[in-house]
Amino acid sequence: MDKDSRASLWIPLILVWPLVLALHVILLPWIVAVAVVTWRSGWGMPILLCWPALFHLCCVLRGLKVEVTETNELVLIYFK
């Protein structure tokens, strides 16, 4: 892989994180309401714990590879 064909995604990800945070804040009351309603059936705790787990998963994406073959042609994103 050439140095010229590498894509750096840290800038776009920095622009996406505020949108993800805003979406999380908007969805949080609904998540809590669903967790309260389903608490007695045993689904409340997993519903509350899935959001921190998904955030953690996004933060620890080791092995994420982004391969750009041409400037305007193909972007391949995969996990190694």
Is residue 64 included in any domain, yes or no? yes
Domain that residue 50 falls in: 10-79
Q: What is the C-alpha separation between 3 and 45, in angstroms, rounded? A: 47
Is residue 2 included in any domain, yes or no? no
Q: What is the C-alpha separation between 60 and 78, in angstroms, rounded? A: 14
Q: What is the pLDDT of residues 18-49, one digit of tens each?
A: 887 898 889 989 999 999 999 999 999 998 88
pTM of the model: 0.52
- Give the three-state DSSP class for 42: coil
Tokens standing for residue 48: 């509350």
Is residue 4 included in any domain, yes or no? no
Q: What is the pLDDT of residues 48-61, one digit of tens each?
A: 888 788 778 777 77
Q: Please count the structural domains in the chain.
A: 1
Is residue 3 included in any domain, yes or no? no
